[in-house]
Amino acid sequence: MSALLSKLLLFISIPVLFYGKSHEYKHPFHVSTTEIAYNTKSKSLEITCRIFTDDFETILNQRFKKKIDLSAKNQAKEMNALVKSYVTTNLKFVVDGKSVEPNYIGFENDHEATNIYLEIENIAAFKKLAVSNGILYDLFDDQMNILHVEKNGARKSTKINFPDKQMIINF
């Protein structure tokens, strides 16, 4: 009886290993990348946030209780509103101790990732940039978020893992 029970448990557990949670999410790492470039001419921070599209659609679906298809051209206006709402709720910026709001520019799909574009205007110069990033924390407890900041040819990077949200770059 013990051998039969062992075989039965093995038979049940193999499909769970292959078709459980890992099947829902097609990649083994949960990561987003936020790149910020300081544009000296326009005195602005140009921001690109890159998120795996399947993960992003999953969290938007859960958050807004709607069918999400970021590639549907006929739903572009609605998808833009949902993307803007999620990103501006989960990505906050403080420049030299002052909270600043980004302008949402839009998003585009790039193969398996979604690029979201933001801009913060009227930044004459800065020494310290703090970013609070909770993107996909409401979906994964192993989420990693990476930040790259480029200013006057210098590039600095940092990363955080769930549950930490605060990233600070000093120039």
The secondary structure element, H or E, covering residue 51 is strand 44-52
The answer to the question of residue 10 being in a domain is no
pLDDT tens-digit series, residues 38-87: 999 999 999 999 999 999 999 999 999 989 999 988 999 999 999 999 99
The answer to the question of residue 86 being in a domain is yes
Q: Are 147 and 111 in contact (CB under 8 A)?
A: no
pLDDT range class, residue 13, cuts 50, 70, 90: very low
Q: What is the CA radius of gyration of the chain?
A: 20
pLDDT tens-digit series, residues 93-136: 999 999 999 999 999 998 789 999 999 999 988 999 999 999 99
pLDDT of residue 26: 60
Instruction: For 64-78, give the DSSP string.
Output: H-S---TT-GGGHHH
Total number of domains constituting the chain = 1
Task: Give the separation between CA 167 and CA 131, rounded to whole angstroms.
Answer: 5
The answer to the question of residue 15 being in a domain is no
β-strand pairing of 31-39 with 144-151: parallel
The answer to the question of residue 18 being in a domain is no
pLDDT range class, residue 154, cuts 50, 70, 90: very high
Full residue range of the structural domain in which residue 113 is found: 30-170
The answer to the question of residue 2 being in a domain is no
pLDDT of residue 21: 38
